[in-house]
A and B are shown apart, each in its own frame.
Chain A
Amino acid sequence: MTNPRTATEAGSTEIQDDRAAVKDDDLVPGPAVDARDQVVRGRGSRIVGIAISTFLTLYVIWTLAPFYIMITSSFKAKGDAFSLPAEGDWGGAAEKLIAFTPTTQHYTDLFAQGEFERYFMNSLIAALSSAIISVVFGTTAAYAISRGRFRGKKDLYFWIISTRMAPVVAVTVPLYAIFKNFQLLNTLPALILAYTVFNLPFAIWILKGFFDAVSYEIEEAYMVDGHSRWQALWKIIPLVAPGLAAVVVLCVLLAWNDFIFAAVMGGEAAKTLPVATQGLKSASGIEWGQIMAAGMVTVAPMLLLGIVIRKYMVQGLTMGAVKQ
């Protein structure tokens, strides 16, 4: 929870650094600005530099402001703290945004109902189980696709990827009917299977890239030494370990952040955090402080994970288009 806040602070120091950088540019040309350029358009490039810093600063504010309001609102007492200043009263607005007495009331209220821990555990179990299933099955399949040559490989690969791209609602319709027949509705296994629809193809896709990058000679050396192919596969697992960890985290992220599956098939018994957070809204009168607190509980763990595996996050979110 403190993490986004430190990031906010980091953001503001960053902004100052950037201004300093612009001044430096006058002496030391940046990578894309060569010396001649400095001579010809010295003043112009300074203006460009300021424009760039301003744009980046504004973009950082635009990105972080909702986080700031979410965090502060989750610690604001009911009533007056939530009121807005008169329209156009910018001074009053700044004061309202910064000065307030923090309270953990919304968090204690949230957990005092006694159900929120359960929703948290549901989210965790569903996300982790699906991630583990996807990584285990995904590893062997990705290895086979990476190393194997067989007819229909392209079609198989396309089928796997297109499954990952299917619209969530379109998948939910038949799964709902099927799970109803098997009496799986409102259970965690239903959610775990549903998340695996998207996580397994994702795991195969990303892990194939990691196996492609491992030289076959390494396995060959093991097999020459008398290991079986299975043992050789086992031996190269450490080489793709970063990939495995990244895929687990990304699968957890995808499942944790899901709303549709859990809302339709989870019911009360398998309610997850996003559904519970949205559920707070329909109660009589919207208690924004509490919703923001619930949102924080939902978002904070993923923010932490995201920052820990930052470089793989980029790769995963871009479906492997970006590799670090």
Chain B
Amino acid sequence: MAVNTAARGTSAGVDPSGPNKPTPRRYLAPLLLPAVILLALLSIYPFVWLIYMSFNAVGLAPGAPNEFVGFDNWSRMFSDSQYWESWGILAKYSVVSMVLEVGLGTLLAILLNRSKHEKLLITILLMPMMMAPVVAGLLWQYLYNGTFGWYFWILRSLGLLDEGTILGSSDIALWAIVAVDVWEWTPLVALIVLSGLKLVPQDQMEASWMDGAGPVRSFFQVALPAIKGSLMIAILLRFMDNIRIIDHFIALTGGGPANSTKILPLYLYEQSFSFFELGYGASIALTLLLVTILFGKLVVNRFEEREENPAKKDEELV
């Protein structure tokens, strides 16, 4: 396992800064345009529509006209307390699940790196990620169920849950969904961090141990600087996915109880497709997109940094 950095320039004697000779211009258009046109139709055209929709009350019946309403949707959004609250819940959810996933994932990666059963363990860790998130949500709803749920039973038997059900209590429900996210996606963080750890030269680690640094200190001195880049990518990807995918929430709580799990993308989903306030939904969607694009810029910068960092060039193991 090696990191993407190494993908370029490893093939025999090619200059890494520009791995291959340029393709003559006349070939570029027929190669690029089909994909670019298709993608433009599927992303730029809808984006323009989204902006248009945010200034309209969108008609619902087939052929119904849209009504221009100026900045109504926008002013409504800025004075909508649920909108701001949903940002808050999203932030709380993202930060807590991210901290747990990065902590657990890093620990897992370190242990995997030493384990003789690395391959088998990785196969097991991959399994939750293959599961359709909505099915994962349903499965956990069953595990949390107050009548049939095994996890509910375990919590009760251990005396950790005094009254009520897990998903029915507004102060627990969000953390219950965090647990599902941790279950499904901690392995992703672990695998990304593992790829970074593979780049730490073993003798450096050993030298640090010989100096009497001990495992914890040598981790912070030797390993952590080397996996910083991987950690950053993992964190950013997890943040983006928390905004992208709301299937767990739809399956588990639908935003309840008492709106305690209504993260912003879920609020957007509800406004757009339960109440069919598509114009209002468009305004919310645009703000979400803006944040995503900012995050996206950070992610891409990270990837490019890794690709351009010459120190890590020769690490590919294939």
Give chain A's interface residues, CB within 8 Å of chain B.
4, 7, 10-11, 14, 17-18, 21, 30-32, 34, 36-37, 48, 52, 55-56, 59-60, 62-64, 66-67, 69-70, 73, 82-85, 87-90, 93, 97, 133, 137-138, 140-141, 143-150, 156-163, 165-178, 180, 183, 193, 196-197, 200-201, 204, 209, 212-217, 220, 229, 253, 256-260, 264, 273-275, 277-278, 281, 288, 291-292, 295, 298-299, 302-303, 305-307, 310, 313-314, 317-324
Contact = CB atoms under 8 A, between A and B. Distances in A.
Contacts of A21: 116-117
A303 B108 CA distance: 22
A52 B278 contact: no
Given A229-B23, A303-B130, A307-B123, A178 B142 contact: no
Given A84-B148, A321-B3, A63 B22 contact: no
B153 A87 contact: yes
Given A69-B150, A299-B132, A175 B157 contact: no
B125 interface: yes
B165 interface: no
Nearest to B47: A174
Interface of B: 1-4, 6-8, 10-12, 14, 18-25, 27-28, 30-32, 34-36, 38-39, 42-43, 45-47, 49-50, 53, 58, 62, 107-108, 111, 114-117, 120-136, 138-140, 142-143, 145, 147-150, 153, 156-157, 183, 187-188, 191-192, 194-195, 202, 205-206, 209-210, 215, 230, 233-234, 237, 240, 243-247, 250-251, 265, 268-269, 272-273, 278, 281-282, 285-286, 288-289, 292-293, 295-297, 299-300, 303, 316
Main secondary structure of the interface of A (DSSP, over half): helix
Contacts, number: 355
A170 B139 contact: no
Contacts of B123: 7, 307, 310
A52 B116 CA distance: 12
Nearest to A307: B123
Given A162-B292, A200-B35, A295-B135, A60 B130 contact: no
Main secondary structure of the interface of B (DSSP, over half): helix
A161 B299 CA distance: 10
A137 B38 contact: yes
A189 to B, nearest CB: 12
A158 B302 CA distance: 12
B23 A175 contact: no
A204 B295 CA distance: 20
Contacts of A229: 23-24, 27
B114 A93 contact: no
Given A88-B157, A137-B35, A30 B272 contact: no
A37 B212 CA distance: 9
18 contacts: A34-B210, A52-B114, A56-B111, A64-B124, A70-B139, A93-B153, A146-B20, A165-B295, A167-B265, A170-B289, A174-B53, A216-B20, A216-B21, A217-B12, A288-B142, A299-B135, A321-B4, A323-B4
Contact of B120 (A14, A82, A204, A299): A14
Contact of A323 (B3, B115, B156): B3
B297 A158 contact: yes
Contacts of A278: 134, 138, 250-251
The 10 closest A-B pairs by CB, nearest first: A216-B20, A141-B35, A174-B46, A144-B31, A170-B285, A257-B132, A322-B195, A259-B134, A215-B11, A137-B35
A323 B312 CA distance: 14
Contact of B126 (A90, A133, A167, A313): A313
A15 B63 CA distance: 62
